[in-house]
Structure 1
Amino acid sequence: MVRRRVRIMRAAVALLLLSVAAMVMWPSRPAAPALTMNVAPVAALPAAPAAWTGDDTGCVVPDPTGTGGCVAGSTAWMIDQLRSGFGELPTTCWSEHAWNPASDHPAGLGCDFFFGATGEFPTGAELSLGWTVAEWLRVHAADLRVSYVIWQGRIWTHDRAVEGWRPYTGGGVYDAQDATGGHYDHIHVSLRG
């Protein structure tokens, strides 16, 4: 009877040690923040951008974010206007996006603006700045030709503007709970040409 209890205790201790070792060796990734439909308060937005008055150009302008690709004229204009209001932000636009053929990046109509470390959930000033940029893009969508904005697990679309920010599901391509897939670490903006 005593031997049996000793074996059970040893097995329990071994199981506990294995569980602790597994947590140390394979820590779980941080969970996405709880999604509410309330956006973070934005104190004040920078000045309104000048409106894009050009034509649809296609992907003909060298990408000003240094990817070596191209962007549409309206995309280059939006980046210039955003930099005028917010300064330089870590940004990428053109990308092949082979894993997502429906992406606007290869057409030069999509850009990503990063806040904090890639793959991490921003907090504090980085999160606040992200919300300010996202709201600036939303408020000035008509002048900037914005089609949609994704940020913090939410999506806002020009053609459904009255619905405000809605939950973002990843579109069947991205893990919406992941910092990058859910667009928690960066804003994605797509333009209408």
Structure 2
Amino acid sequence: MLKKFTFVALMGALVTASFGAGVANAATERNGSCESGEFCLYYNSDQAGSVSDFAGSVADYGDSQPSCYEFKSAGNGQGVCVKNNAASVWNKTNKAVTVFYNSNYGGAKQTFAAGAKGNLKAELKNENASHRIGDAGGDPDPAPGTYPAPEANPHPEATAKAPNATKRTQFIDDQIASKTGEKQCWVGDYRSYESATSNHNTGNALDCTISNAIGTYPTESQKAQGWKLAYWLQKYASKLDVRYVIWQGKIWSVARASEGWRTYTAGTGVTNGHYDHVHVSVQNPHGD
């Protein structure tokens, strides 16, 4: 069924996501206290200074407020963005955790066994950009978990007019819903401020709401949820006929796949920077 991004639908997404988030985050997520089941980064060496506690993997800590992950507790570094500012860690999860020099789990790395605590090595001290829970130092699929493979998209390139989706786009929407469980994806209303041949206006793009509502930043677990979807779309781009994906101020495209996830420069802020929703554009006659 073709869908339209309406106020009613958005409110439904808000109610559903809000109650869901309440259950998932009912414990002590991101409260500045390093507790059992969390991976914690410290501003100073030897687990001193302000702490930033995480319940899941993070592909990019963010560069500046208000979108970055910051050190939470009282002490040296409180309020400072975690990226490139951590000196030590405490892994209170039951899995190995690897800290990476680059965003999206790349570059130099250091692995901490379950229950271990220690200082970041010189190459990573104040040079940390991401961490992955359940990573013992190898190079597994970068997504925090995985979804089943989708079916191949059988539909040719085409155009429609928003809020209608092309058959190719609707197929991706259906595959997202059936394989990942994400059901808040929309073409959106026609955008008079965009070109008539834009991806959204021609029914060749979807926005999948990940945060509690459009206009609000996601929780840590929602960020991981969004990255799981984004990496799935990247992994199966050829099978689904995906053109590019945007999430958390990062863009990955088929045309520049060798460059990995790049900084997205066409928009900033919670919505235009794609911090509250995953955007996926579909291969189409008009391109970008």
The within-5 A match list for 1:1-193 is 31-33=66-68, 37-38=103-104, 41=132, 42-59=143-160, 69-101=163-195, 103-116=198-211, 117-170=213-266, 174=267, 176=268, 178-193=269-284
Identical-pair percentage: 34
Secondary structure at the counterpart of residue 71 of structure 1: coil
Q: Distance in 1 between matches of 2:221 and 2:198?
A: 29
Q: Higher Cα Rg: structure 1 or 2?
A: 1
Amino acid at match of 2:232: W
Q: Distance in 2 between matches of 1:163 and 1:98?
A: 32
User: Are the equivalent residues in 2 in contact too, given 1:110–1:190 (CA < 8 A)?
Assistant: yes
TM-score (norm 2): 0.49
User: Are the equivalent residues in 2 in contact too, given 1:37–1:166 (CA < 8 A)?
Assistant: no
Q: Distance in 2 between matches of 1:125 and 1:136?
A: 17
User: Are the equivalent residues in 1 in contact too, given 2:182–2:208 (CA < 8 A)?
Assistant: no
Q: Distance in 2 between matches of 1:126 and 1:89?
A: 14
**Residue 140 of structure 1, CA deviation:** 0.4
**Residue 58 of structure 1, CA deviation:** 2.5
Secondary structure at the counterpart of residue 46 of structure 1: coil
User: Are the equivalent residues in 2 in contact too, given 1:147–1:157 (CA < 8 A)?
Assistant: yes
Q: Distance in 1 between matches of 2:199 and 2:184?
A: 18
Amino acid at match of 1:32: S
Tell me how large the CA RMSD over aligned residues is.
2.1
Bigger RCO (CA 8 Å, 6+ sep): 1
TM-score (norm 1): 0.71
More strand by share: 2
Q: Distance in 2 between matches of 1:76 and 1:136?
A: 17
> CA 1:119/1:94 → structure 2, altered by over 3 Å: closer, same or farther?
closer
User: Are the equivalent residues in 2 in contact too, given 1:71–1:94 (CA < 8 A)?
Assistant: no
More helix by share: 1
Residues 94-146 of structure 1 show CA distances to partners (whole Å, capped at 9, x for unaligned) of: 42122222631110001100112221221222111100000000000001111
Structure 2 unaligned regions, length at least 5: 1-64, 69-80, 84-101, 106-129, 133-142
- Number of equivalent positions: 152
Amino acid at match of 1:192: Q
Q: Distance in 1 between matches of 2:248 and 2:278?
A: 8
User: In terms of mean alpha carbon deviation, does 113-122 or 97-106 score higher?
Assistant: 97-106
> CA 1:49/1:183 → structure 2, altered by over 3 Å: closer, same or farther?
same
User: What is aligned with 2:71?
Assistant: none
